[in-house]
Amino acid sequence: MVSYIAHPAEQAQHPAAPAGMERFAAACGAVSYALVAVLLRLVVARDFFVAGEAKVAGPTIPLSFHGSTFSLILPAQLREEALSELAAKFATVPAPPTLVAYCVVYAQFLLPICLVLGFGTRIAALALLIVTALLQIYVAPEVLWTAHVYWIAILLVLLTCGGGAISLDRLIRHLYQK
C-alpha cells in the first residue's frame, strides 16, 4: 500500500488531505493486478488478432457466444495480396522479406491467443514488441502516436509484470511447485 506522509506544515494547512490521499491510495490498491493484467492482455490481443486474421485465409469456424455470432478463420495460408504488400514493405529488412512477412502475420495471429490465455505471456509480449517495432519502422510509421505507443506501453507492462494471477502461466507455475 502506498502511504502519503505529509510535511507538518501541510498537515496544519490541510488536515483532511493526508486522510483523503490515504483513502484514495487504498481504493486504487484495491484493484488487483490480476484483473488489470486480464484487461491489458485482452485489449492488446484484440488489435493484433484482428490484424492477423485479416491477412490469413483458411477454413472458417462459426462461433456463437451469448447470442452473438462470429467466425474464426484457421490460418491455413496467407492471403496473396497481404503477402505481396508486406513483402514489399519489408524489402529493406536484412532477412528474406517473404519470411519476415510470414513471421509477422503468424505472430499477429497466434501470439494474441497466448496473451488471452496468459500462456507464455512475457515471451508473447516480447515477440509482439518486436512485431510492433517492425510495423512501426517498415509498415506504418505514421501510426506511432495513434496505436503503436499504446501497444508498446501495454506490452511493456505485461513483459515486466507477467500475466497475473488469472493466467495459464500462474496455473503452470502452481502445478510445477507441487
- What distance in Å separates the CA atoms of residue 34 and residue 44, rounded to the nearest whole number? 16
Query: Whole-prediction pTM value?
Result: 0.80
Q: Which three cell numbers stand for residue 7?
A: 510535511
> pLDDT tens digits for the chain (178 residues)?
444 454 554 445 555 567 778 888 888 777 899 999 999 999 999 999 999 988 998 898 888 888 888 888 888 888 999 999 999 999 999 999 999 999 999 999 999 999 999 999 999 999 999 999 999 999 999 999 999 999 999 999 999 999 999 999 999 999 999 8
pLDDT at residue 5, rounded to an integer: 52
- The domain spans of the chain are 32-177
Angle between helices 121-134 and 33-53 (to 10 degrees): 50
How many CB atoms sit inside 10 A of residue 15's CB?
11
Please answer whether residues 41 and 18 qualify as being in contact, where contact means their C-beta atoms are separated by less than 8 angstroms: no
